[in-house]
Chain A
Amino acid sequence: MRMRKASYPYVLWMLIFILIPLFLVGYFAFTTGNSTDYETFRFSLENFRRFLSPIYLDVLGRSLMLSLISTVICFILGYPIAYIIANKRKAKTRNNLILLFVIPMWMNFLLRTYAWLTILGKNGIINSFLNLLGFESMELLYNSGSVILGMVYNFLPFMVLPIYSVLVKMDKKLIEAAEDLGADRKTIFRRVIFPLSLPGVMTGFTMVFTPAVSTFIISNLLGGNKTTLIGNVIEQQFIYTGDWHFGSAMSIVLMVIILIVMALTNKGGGDLEGGRGGLW
């Protein structure tokens, strides 16, 4: 393969910040020993065996389940939003509405998630209101529901934007052609608009599912002990337990799962020859 000189900095960048770290993670994952002394490292599959125990598989299962539910909710909410915005006649209206979805993303992720504590908490806005009406306070936090809420809230724009960008670029003549061939509005959506927007949906699925399945902040703040996610377990290995080997192994497993999910969604989109459009 021929490489131009101008590409060297990028190759160097990728080497330092992507390939070497990836290699290190892999190296740690397949070894055991004292994390601070590399002379004690020995090749081993122990980390992976350990991960196969019910406790961790349970956490992994919960992570996959919660992020899948969040992704589906994001899709159910996001598609109509993107559709409605994309169909606004004026470009200015469209841009302003999209901006409304982007602005919260300019705020710190942690802050945005913290905000929900003051809304859902024991003495939060909702419970204060309930008390005012004479009802007892409810436990709104520290369950699967609040984690899903946090994921949906934080990642919804990642679903809306790619779908919107496909819809807004869609050739309106295709819709007219379908209408001309006898399709009513419902049929046009089912047979033309939706299939053509699938690349955007696939991108949206990946962009929501990937950060959701590996998050630890959302589950940390809103989830409590009962809804520990795989992200939390990995975080614990690196920060508290200091077992980098086990943490790396879990990261690798998670990465493989994400890759499989991406391959599956891309295959689904690829069958439609929908290479056009999408956010990328």
Chain B
Amino acid sequence: MTTNIMIDLKNISKSFGKTTVLENMNLYIRENEFLTLLGPSGCGKTTTLRIIAGFETPSEGKVIFSGKDISDVPPYERQVNTVFQKYALFPHLNVYENIAFGLKIKKMPKEEITKKVTEVLKLVNLSGFEKRGVDSLSGGQQQRIAIARALVNEPKVLLLDEPLGALDLKLRKEMQIELKNIQKRVGITFIYVTHDQEEALTMSDTIVVMNEGLIQQIGTPVDIYNEPKNAFVAKFIGESNILPGIMHKDYLVEFQGVTFPCVDKGFAPKEPVEVVIRPEDIQMTTAEDGQLKGMVEEVTFKGVHYEMVVNVDGFRYLIQSTAMAPLGEVIGMKILPDAIHIMKRGEAS
């Protein structure tokens, strides 16, 4: 991956009337990267995308595209294309005409348009669909046409606004992989908006977690999952147990009256902290062998694993394991040093 910066958002703020949707946002997006804006609804992720596309102008700040300020450039002059949430295919045009829409506007010769449409249909696995009406297509097929219609214009950046939201789970998983493959093949920047953390983890090179108009954390999927910067990220990406603790010294933390060796350092002696433990990182043991001891209060079968709630002195730990402990049994729990993640107190709120 090259490190050239494709898009640079500088101090972007956006308000609608009295509501602030984005607050002093700074973000750069590299060439050829698959970047995901992830967050709950109303976090400003779609607004960010619309600002890049040009459908919204930022109240403050600049959008730099390949070194040029494009804040005032209308959408139809930007070198980006969008895949819309509900596809927004033109109902009065067939598949060919939908895909050719942008090329016809550019006054491309007809033979070239036909060639490009054929190529892009092949890319999205819908060869031979040229003459079909868009209403006759399934949701997944419409989705592919929407992607083809955007890609055929050879944009430098493709914007995708929750494009898989309307598809069923199985199709969504297939499309996730396919989208990632398409991105690798065409080699352009994808900016993807979703509220589905699993989708973000599966596809992205970089994830930007957003909440209430602010960027919470930027990082690779692995970083975001393993090293959440605050409780919001920890809770939003996967499930976690978050509980208060005290950092005795480097590599040693105490919570629930037990000291645990950990891999974090750089805190003041006796500094109060928040401890994050992923449910799959807690090992079940016999009551005697565990570092913590508690009673199983809930058991849910999830297919690949069981999900259990274990009550230890009033704190209910969520744990996931392929083994099952029966309801009401007292079990022990073991937590390895690298499974414990320490966050400063206060970041967690």
Q: What is the interface of chain A, defined by CB distance below 8 A to chain B?
A: 171, 173-174, 176-184, 187, 191-192, 195-196, 272-274, 276
Q: Does B55 interact with chain A (Cβ within 8 Å)? A: yes
* Interface segment, one of B79-87, B110-118, B245-253, B305-313: B79-87
Number of interface residues of B (CB under 8 A): 26
Shortest B54–chain A CB gap in Å is 8
Q: Which of B52-107 contact A (CB under 8 A)?
A: 53, 55, 74-77, 80-82, 84-86, 88-92, 101-102, 105-106
CA distance A178 to B101 in the complex (A): 8
The answer to whether A176 touches B75 (Cβ under 8 A) is yes
Q: Which of B277-297 contact A (CB under 8 A)?
A: none
Shortest A176–chain B CB gap in Å is 6
The answer to whether B102 touches A182 (Cβ under 8 A) is yes
What residues of chain B lie closer than 8 Å to A187, measured between beta carbons? Answer: 105
Q: Does B195 interact with chain A (Cβ within 8 Å)? A: no
CB nearest to A184 among chain B residues: B76
Known: A191-B101, A196-B92. A180 touches B86 (CB 8 A): no
CB nearest to A192 among chain B residues: B90
Q: Which of B112-171 contact A (CB under 8 A)?
A: 133, 135, 149-150, 153
What residues of chain B lie closer than 8 Å to A173, measured between beta carbons? Answer: 84-86, 88
CA distance A9 to B80 in the complex (A): 59
The answer to whether B88 touches A177 (Cβ under 8 A) is yes
The answer to whether A180 touches B90 (Cβ under 8 A) is no
Count chain B CB atoms within 10 A of each CB in A177, A184, A195, A274 and give the residue with the most. A177
CA distance A171 to B88 in the complex (A): 8
What residues of chain A lie closer than 8 Å to B55, measured between beta carbons? Answer: 176, 179
The answer to whether B92 touches A180 (Cβ under 8 A) is no
The dominant DSSP class at the A interface is helix
CA distance A187 to B77 in the complex (A): 13
The answer to whether A195 touches B153 (Cβ under 8 A) is no
Count chain B CB atoms within 10 A of each CB in A181, A182, A192, A272 and give the residue with the most. A181
Select which of B77, B88, B92, B135 is within 8 A of A272 by beta carbon.
Answer: B92
Q: Show 8 A/B contacts (Cβ-Cβ < 8 Å), sorted by A.
A: A173-B86, A174-B90, A176-B75, A176-B84, A178-B90, A179-B76, A196-B91, A273-B91
Shortest A267–chain B CB gap in Å is 15
Shortest B92–chain A CB gap in Å is 5
Known: A173-B86, A191-B101. A181 touches B92 (CB 8 A): no
CA distance A182 to B80 in the complex (A): 10
The answer to whether A181 touches B88 (Cβ under 8 A) is no
CA distance A179 to B88 in the complex (A): 12
The answer to whether B106 touches A180 (Cβ under 8 A) is no
Shortest B84–chain A CB gap in Å is 5
What residues of chain A lie closer than 8 Å to B101, measured between beta carbons? Answer: 178, 181, 183, 191
What residues of chain A lie closer than 8 Å to B53, measured between beta carbons? Answer: 180
What residues of chain A lie closer than 8 Å to B74, measured between beta carbons? Answer: 179, 184
CA distance A196 to B90 in the complex (A): 9
Shortest A268–chain B CB gap in Å is 13
Known: A171-B88, A272-B92. A180 touches B105 (CB 8 A): no
CA distance A177 to B76 in the complex (A): 10
A-B contacts besides A179-B76, A182-B102, 10 pairs, CB < 8 Å: A173-B84, A177-B90, A180-B53, A180-B80, A181-B76, A181-B150, A183-B76, A272-B92, A273-B133, A274-B91
The answer to whether A182 touches B92 (Cβ under 8 A) is no
The answer to whether B75 touches A180 (Cβ under 8 A) is yes
CB nearest to B82 among chain A residues: A180
The answer to whether B82 touches A177 (Cβ under 8 A) is yes
Shortest B195–chain A CB gap in Å is 19
CA distance A274 to B92 in the complex (A): 6
CA distance A56 to B346 in the complex (A): 92
CA distance A184 to B55 in the complex (A): 13
What residues of chain A lie closer than 8 Å to B91, measured between beta carbons? Answer: 174, 196, 273-274, 276
CB nearest to A276 among chain B residues: B91
Shortest A114–chain B CB gap in Å is 43
Select which of B84, B105, B135, B149 is within 8 A of A183 by beta carbon.
Answer: B105
Known: A196-B91, A196-B92. A182 touches B106 (CB 8 A): yes
What residues of chain A lie closer than 8 Å to B84, measured between beta carbons? Answer: 173, 176-177
CA distance A273 to B75 in the complex (A): 28
